[in-house]
Chains A and B, each alone.
Chain A
Amino acid sequence: MSADSLDSSRLDIPGLGAPADTEWETVVGLEVHAELATETKLFSASPNRFGGEPNTHIDPVSLGLPGSLPVLNEKAVELAIRVGLALNCRIQPSVFARKNYFYPDMPKDFQISQYDEPINVEGWLELPTGKRIAIERAHLEEDTGKTVHIGGGGRIHEAGYSLVDYNRAGVPLIEIVGRPELRSAEEARQYVAELRAILVAVGASDGKMEEGSLRVDCNVSVRPMGSDRLGTRCEIKNVNSLRSMGRAIEYEARRQIDQLTSGQPVEQQTRHWNEDDGRTHALRSKEEDYDYRYFPEPDLLPLNPSEEWVEQIRQGLPPLPRDRRFRLAEAASAVDLDHIALAVERSMDDLALAAVAGGGAPDRVMTHIVHNLAEGSGELAPEALAGLVHMEEAGELTATQAKKVLAVLVESGGTPQKAAQELGFEAMDTGEIEALVDRLIADNPDEWSRFCDGDNKLTGFFVGQAMKATQGRADGKAVTQLLNSRRG
């Protein structure tokens, strides 16, 4: 590159040499890879299963043995179409291509992907805020094997050698490429959370970031607020949770701003997020597309799903998270919208709706779902949740007892009445509570006279004593009411 062209290209960099008080905008575009929930691989009949002994889910196709031929998995195509429809994409005729590179995670030295004719194009995803993010494409491709680096103290560049496990090679992936229309780490988080909820809702993926079945690459650039040009982007890999993605985007934007304000252009790079030091590190300069020498895969035929098939898949789509949030918010109108979203994210909105329809007070139902069912609802039936809430409302169970009963219902099902009985949480009848309160008053004359003089803090003392005397069976609310009525 000549000095002249360098200078003129530098003039084109938004924000280069900007003053320190410049207001910056972060621009994020995400590429999300999700493993599709099929029984077998994309092009062969080995099982698609997480974990397992290394190299036990392998066959001639996933090893790229000479003479082996790929055959496309119908279920993977159906799941890809489901994702496309849920993301408002156009489903179009598509072809597979070879992406050539030399790396031992693919023994045949290429990865089969879709390049210029992907199955899903031109869609959008709506964030909970109502903002729409354009989806460029959502295409099918095969996953690669896993390499582990051995020796040299575990650092990649000092490694003595690598070990390869091909269980994951050939597992079907859908890669969802979003336009760079996200403007903050928080928006990126919302986008991935919503996309994950959609993938899970349509049954395309389990969406587990920690197991690597959902992987996010973040393209991050910055520019002065108001600029309509995009800055040079860096691609951040290795973010394993929504939280680390947010941190990585914030760190990277800061790094690029510091770079530009000090007069240095941002170099287009792939960078690796390091969770421990909270930084991104340069891996390699971005390879240009032509380096992969994409060409049509001669061993696979074009894919052209019929309108009837696509329509049939569309009819079979379950309600999407957005609609489910609306539905639950309508049924439980007084409840915090974040809690509504959380219930949908945990796929407990049907449970909540049924419990509310069964007469359970919405706020109590949602409290249990948000706070007490984080680990899943297990064997809990909606009627049992509604019944439990009824018992609480009627004062038959304290909040603490209700939580314990709920744990039993989650573990082994059944009715709340029976579970409460087995736990010894039989409601104290009014006479029993009255006798208890009267005894406490008699036993604690000093506290009682201070309470009668208006020291309301002593309510807590008496309730505490009542709980102690009954091992938590007493209903705090009933005790308080009695104390107040005895005071007159």
Chain B
Amino acid sequence: MAALARLELSDEELERFTGQLDELLDHVAEVEALDLEDLPPTMHALPIANVLRPDVPGEVLDRDEVLARAPLAEDGQFRVPPVLGEAP
């Protein structure tokens, strides 16, 4: 899981977090034991839906200001390490 999330953890941290994760899983198991057959699944913690924005253009950021904060920039673009393959 640490590899998937690109996290570098020390052995000590690994041990600690594995313990914490186990506790979380135990808690989930408790919920699983309940009979929830007749309850609809919760889609979100807040009881609201359909928060929509009108399709009206707003302000954009200034490119130079943004790129000035990037580690590397070139030709108005962000410069990043070489990308192998392609996006999923």
Contact = CB atoms under 8 A, between A and B. Distances in A.
Interface in A16-56: 38-40, 44-47, 53-56
B59 interface: yes
B31 interface: no
A225 interface: no
- Among B74, B75, B83, B84: residue with most chain A CB under 10 A: B83
Interface string A428-443: 0000000000000000
A103 B66 contact: no
Contacts of B48: 301
A455 interface: no
Nearest to A117: B43
A412 to B, nearest CB: 33
Interface in A142-175: 144, 147-149, 151-152, 156-157, 159-166
B20 interface: no
A164 B78 contact: yes
A114 B43 CA distance: 13
A304 B49 contact: yes
Contacts of B85: 156, 283-284
B12 to A, nearest CB: 25
A100 B7 CA distance: 14
A221 B67 CA distance: 45
Given A39-B55, A40-B58, A144-B87, A162 B63 contact: no
A247 interface: no
Contact of A303 (B6, B49, B58, B88): B49
A358 interface: no
A56 B63 contact: yes
Interface string B1-17: 00011100000000000
A296 interface: yes
B43 A103 contact: no
Contact of A40 (B44, B55, B77, B78): B55
Nearest to B58: A45
B53 A162 contact: no
B56 A40 contact: yes
Interface string B45-88: 11011111111111111010011000000111111111111111
Nearest to A103: B87
A117 B42 CA distance: 12
Given A40-B56, A59-B58, A296 B51 contact: no
A210 interface: no
Q: What does DSSP make chain A's interface, helix, strand, loop or mixed?
A: loop
Contacts, number: 146
Contacts of B61: 58-60, 63
B6 to A, nearest CB: 6
B68 to A, nearest CB: 12
A47 B60 contact: yes
Contacts of A272: 86
B1 to A, nearest CB: 9
Interface string A273-313: 00000000001100100011100101001111100000000
A77 interface: yes
B76 A53 contact: yes
A46 B50 CA distance: 21
B53 A102 contact: no
A148 B74 CA distance: 12
B10 to A, nearest CB: 21
Given A55-B66, A55-B78, A292 B53 contact: no
A76 B88 CA distance: 23
A156 to B, nearest CB: 7
Nearest to B51: A301
A480 interface: no
B86 A283 contact: yes
A73 B52 contact: yes
A326 interface: no
Nearest to B1: A293
A157 B84 contact: yes
Contact of A105 (B66, B75, B87): B87
A82 interface: no
A47 B57 contact: yes
20 contacts: A46-B57, A47-B57, A58-B60, A58-B61, A63-B61, A73-B55, A74-B52, A74-B54, A103-B83, A104-B83, A117-B43, A147-B80, A149-B82, A156-B86, A162-B83, A164-B79, A283-B86, A296-B44, A302-B49, A302-B50
Interface of B: 4-6, 43-46, 48-61, 63, 66-67, 74-88
Given A40-B55, A293-B4, 15 more contacts: A53-B63, A63-B61, A73-B53, A102-B6, A103-B83, A147-B83, A151-B82, A156-B83, A156-B86, A162-B82, A165-B76, A291-B4, A301-B44, A301-B46, A301-B49
